[in-house]
Chain A
Amino acid sequence: MTTMHEGPPPERAGPPVDLVRRGDRLILLAAVPGVRPSDLWVSIVGDRQVLLEGTVAYRHPLPRESLALGERTYGPFSRTVHLPLPVDAGQVAVSLQDGVLTLDMRVRAEAVHLHWQPREAGRLERHG
């Protein structure tokens, strides 16, 4: 099996991300276990991209090669997330708790769904 193109190395793929729409909010959840707030940088690029950069620091008291089992991944990561809707970069609430980063972003006004009423049955026929 061949791939169409060479993607970035998997090590640079970055944390897994959920994007959730909730009313006029767009909420991004990223799993960044073991990352402390001081080791995480979040940027909104334009109004359609979120850049997540950080480092998973190694904190065990003995060197990695001395672990009986070492399955965690350490080191820097970087990921750009493309947003399906434009957001207001000035209105973003950021929180980092229990290894989950939450970005609560407001969708820009022009992209908010309009409320609309279906036409009343029978009207079209009378006008037409």
Chain B
Amino acid sequence: MNDTGSAIERIAEQLEALGEAISADLWRELGRAGTPPKKVPQPRGRAGGAARTAARTGPPLDIYVTPHEVVVEAVLPGLTSPQQVSVSLVGPTELLIEAYLPDRLPDGLYLQRERFTGYCSRLVTLPAPVRPAAAASYEDGLLALRFQRASPGTGSDGVAVLHVPDKVG
């Protein structure tokens, strides 16, 4: 075994592919408007480093970096209580989102069921280190988390920063 490193890398790639294949069905409904997840080539030159995620086994996420914040938006339609979602930082760049999407009409007779309900979680590597505090908002089925960056405005670790006006309102 003189090539253990690359073997592990291959296994990791296979797991990632497997995870995406499984989640294609599970997460079709969560914000993708019925579109199965597709590999979107990440263009170069974005603000912040790449946000890494092992396998797509949770709600779809949008993540971007401003000079002072890392903003994460998770697609979680139909939450009825803040207790149904839990957000944890496993480290300065490791974010864990866990959620329970409740059944809206548990006493009804379901003739067709496509929406996802139940537990889901997502572990993602943030593009820049953040402080362990976030401002959260929930609107239109989107959970928005705004983290203060640990070192605002710096371009260290390959993190390029574009100037973005602060969101008003």
* Residues on A facing B (Cβ under 8 Å): 10-11, 13-22, 27, 29-36, 56, 60-62, 65-73, 77, 79, 84, 98-100, 102
Contact = CB atoms under 8 A, between A and B. Distances in A.
A13 B104 CA distance: 23
Interface of B: 28-37, 40, 42-43, 45-51, 53, 56, 60-66, 71, 73, 75-80, 104-105, 107-116, 124, 126-127, 138, 140-142, 162, 164-165, 167
A94 B45 CA distance: 43
Contacts of B127: 68-69
Contacts of B164: 61-62
Given A68-B127, A99-B78, A31 B165 contact: no
B37 A20 contact: no
B63 A69 contact: yes
Contacts of A102: 104
The interface residues of chain B, by DSSP majority, are classed as loop
A21 B105 CA distance: 10
Given A35-B140, A68-B49, A14 B34 contact: yes
A16 B108 contact: no
A18 B34 CA distance: 13
B5 to A, nearest CB: 26
Nearest to A96: B140
Contact of A20 (B43, B46, B108): B108
B142 A68 contact: no
A22 B105 CA distance: 9
Given A15-B29, A19-B110, A20-B108, A70 B40 contact: yes
Of B113, B138, B141, most buried by chain A (CB within 10 Å of CB) is B141
Contacts of A73: 31-33, 35, 60
